[in-house]
Structure 1
């Protein structure tokens, strides 16, 4: 193989693999989970409406919503358009990471690093989500590459590009600023001259100052993350095991890592990146729960670098042509990870699915039906698929999401909701498929009125959400409460309960 073809192979295969794996099942059986529904709903607003929305909620995702608004405007609003930006960003991250591994050690290490990154389950998951975390990861890979380049060249152009990239990542999600702690450790481990340290500190400070208004503004919306549970023992152990695996990779490749021609070694860059951001977020979460893997997804960059270096070192010891061994190992890993990779592409892989919920509502609704959402955030299914709710009326809503600059609209007082419910003969309730007690007075009122004045006639559960049809007691005196009502669990298709005539689902404004 000529050198040109060899370089094309080394730098082309990893991003191509990322693209192929990302396109595989990208629609997830035409499903969309609640966070993607927020992206969908926000990006469909005008720019002034998005700006007004950010003053109330989701300030931290403002730049991403504006970006996706542009994507939908230019390319349309299909599910592919929702997720392709994330996939393309992850493919770019893979390409940059391949170049970074090649710069830090050699081309074979770059190939192994890129393939390892493409095969990581977390990378495959967020390459198929309409959320900003893949874009943040791509920015952070570029920041790492610019850091290594700037330390070697030490000119202001590289440092300005580095600071700008870190700032863009922070504007997409300011938790990405945790990478600066890792880079500070890298600078210290590399024993760089004082001039380099000063230039890095200035670039990092500019990035922090540039993102400070966003950080401060989003603090007023900190209630958005109140749902995050305390860190469990399992999460802590998984994180520690990942760090240990990375350290083991650095140990296996120690001889080769020491032979790099750049000032920053692979281990000096990768180990702090793998360990510090998640561990720091974990430490903060001990007092205020904030830890979510996706917030520090970019730490997978360090893991991929260490896996790639270890694989190349092992391949070099056993074969004269390590590239073939690396590709063979990647193929074996791909097959071995199939039990994880296949479920990631299923509709049930996320917390819930707003589109299947809309299908279930369309199957049981009748003209004049009323609808309730418990909690109000479950209104997202009607906002994404309004055609499924044609002919129904929202009992609790007094101000729609766009008018109120919110994602779920504004509901009336508990008394207003109680009176509205008593005017309905049939109510469709959209709620979560769990038994957690209602958190707000409005939701408690909804459930109390349903218990006192309505009888449950039909129920279906699917992909994290539940649809329940209630009728007024005066309209069905022969029925008894829940013990005798026919309840069905949908398996593949929605059954038709007695007395319910499914109507044809409207296709207008429906996600394809």
Structure 2
């Protein structure tokens, strides 16, 4: 479990009144997801399995949706292969086993795209109603799902659809926008607290986007020569390019880009890849059976060789920024009941909030108001002078810090913690954990 999953775990376990209070202060954009997880834990408090099961099921649902879209546009073989490609993508597998909302958003956007396709030729409003409901649900799970509307508008333009279709889509899009307005009104006031940690996308983000875009454009060019591929390309290419591309461009002004925010865009490359692979399979039927078997074995072996290391890596704790379970174990081994505990910086309190029994054995001497009481994620800390006075009364302190080399917060509370520990205490142990350190300090006596 890493820190974002820990947020889901501890927030979803709060009583509904406290959860509602939190959403008025921060994380309204994840509010529906927290409520869903609150219901999951009320039905079955199954720890990490329960935390991640909705994402697993949602990813399976999204893969089925990709297969359904591919089958409708390019045939059953292409659909099956597209669903398999989507399921095998390392980024899909990463968020399939993470307790956050991104897999659910992807499932909703994918099936909304299926309803969108059915609506293109339908005469009634049934499919457009389903499209609007699914996309509104996706947006309430994460607002940036609304960028799919822009991609779908580009699809309609590329297909030169009649005015009747434009009108039906516009009504559905207006319904999605209206449904999203209350969430936008609340979350806009939380934007600084919600996204203030983000920096502008670096070169690696742009290179990743350009690599995916290049593959999608190449596949689109190859498929465009095939009869009946126009709809596939018109749907898949905008989904690949528009949501991520728009967020990257906007991030020149407001840094809002994180690849998982637009995870649903990976359905585009999967659809294109499925159609291309189906074409290769059909073309191979001209060859003898032994040649086809050899080619299939070589292709499968290459896929395993390329994907297996990535798939293994995204299932390891090292694929995340930290590991709160490992941090808690290190604290449990090092701490004694009644020891003082300091979180440096204060937002690292998240490392123990999902282990309340362990945290309850320690004296959180900087904490003025608990997360639940203050309707915040990590609580409110005391003024710097008071933290300093309380710290000087402690004999043994467990300090949870970022790894060596990380930038230090400039706030007065953090400065006083560092200054007093360095000048009045002696460090007896430093236990490195993935993404964290657990340090043991004493003020007097020996380290035993």
Q: Note whether the superposition's TM-score is higher than 0.5.
A: yes
Select the residue among 68, 76, 96 that pairs with 1:127: 96
Q: Provide TM-score, normalisation by structure 1.
A: 0.83
Cα separation, partners in 2 of 1:326 and 1:440, compared to 1, 3 Å: farther
3-state DSSP of counterpart to 1:337:
helix
SS of the aligned residue for 1:459 comes to strand
| Equivalent of 1:356 in 326, 346, 354 | 326
Which range moves more in the overlay, 218-227 or 458-467?
Answer: 218-227
Q: Does the Cα contact within 8 Å between 1:365 and 1:389 map onto a contact in 2?
A: no
Query: How many equivalent pairs are there?
Result: 442
Q: What residue in structure 2 maps to residue 311 of structure 1?
A: 277
Cα distance between partner residues in 2 of 1:151 and 1:406 = 45
Structure-2 change in CA distance of 1:331 and 1:45 (3 Å): farther
Structure 1 unaligned runs (5+)? Answer: 1-31, 477-497, 500-512
Q: Deviations over 1:298-338 (max 9, x none)?
A: 10010101111111112222225999877974564134211
Q: Is the 8 A contact 1:425 1:475 kept in 2?
A: no
CA distance in 2, matches of 1:326, 1:276: 34
Residue 97 of structure 1, CA deviation = 1.0
**Structure 1 residue 419 corresponds to structure 2 residue 409:** no
Report the equivalent of 1:147.
Answer: 116
Q: Could you tell me how far 1:185 is from its partner in structure 2? A: 0.4
TM-score by length of 2: 0.95
Instruction: Work out the CA distance in 1 between the residues paired with 2:284 and 2:221.
Output: 17
Q: Of 384, 389, 398, which residue of structure 1 is paired with 2:368? A: 398
Measured after TM superposition, the shift of residue 106 of structure 1 is: 0.6
Distance 1:320 1:162 in 2: 41
Secondary structure of 2:49's aligned partner:
helix
Partner of residue 156 from structure 2, selected from 152, 165, 187: 187
Matched residue, 1:342: 312
Please identify which structure carries the higher helix content.
2
Contact 1:252 1:313 (8 Å CA) reproduced: no
* Equivalent residue, structure 1, for 2:436: 465
Deviation at 1:254, TM superposition (A): 2.4
Q: CA deviation at 1:407?
A: 1.4
User: Are the counterparts in 1 of residues 18 and 373 from structure 2 also a CA contact under 8 Å?
Assistant: no
| Segments ≥4 residues shifted beyond 6 Å | 321-328
Aligned equivalent of 1:168, options 104, 113, 137: 137
1:91 is aligned to 2:60: yes
Write the deviation string for residues 463-490 of structure 1: whole angstroms up to 9, x where unpaired: 1011111111x445xxxxxxxxxxxxxx
2-side partners of 1:436 and 1:390: how far apart? 29
Contact 1:361-1:389 at 8 Å conserved across structures: no
Please state how far the C-alpha of 1:352 moved relative to its aligned partner.
0.3
> Please, what is the CA RMSD of the aligned residues?
1.8
Distance, in Å, in 2 between the alignment partners of 1:308 and 1:132 is: 26
Among candidates 348, 351, 354, match of residue 378 of structure 1: 348
Partner of 2:267: 301
Partners of 2:166 and 2:361 in 1: how far apart?
65
Q: Distance in 2 between matches of 1:77 and 1:152?
A: 44
The 8 Å contact of residues 2 and 322 in structure 2, kept in 1 or not, is answered as yes
> CA offsets, 1:335-362, max 9 Å, x none?
4211111111112210001111111111
CA spacing shift, 1:326–1:227, aligned 2, 3 Å: farther
Task: Decide which of 37, 42, 47 is 1:73's aligned counterpart.
Answer: 42
User: What whole-Å deviation, never above 9, does each CA across 1:187-237 have from its counterpart, x for those lacking one?
Assistant: 011111101101101110110111011112111111221111211122112
Hey, what's the Cα distance between the residues in 1 that align with 2:352 and 2:14? 16
8 Å CA contact 1:312, 1:326 repeated in 2: no
Matches within 5 A, 1:16-27: none
Gaps in structure 2 of 5+ consecutive residues: none
Q: 1:279 aligns with which of 222, 245, 249?
A: 245
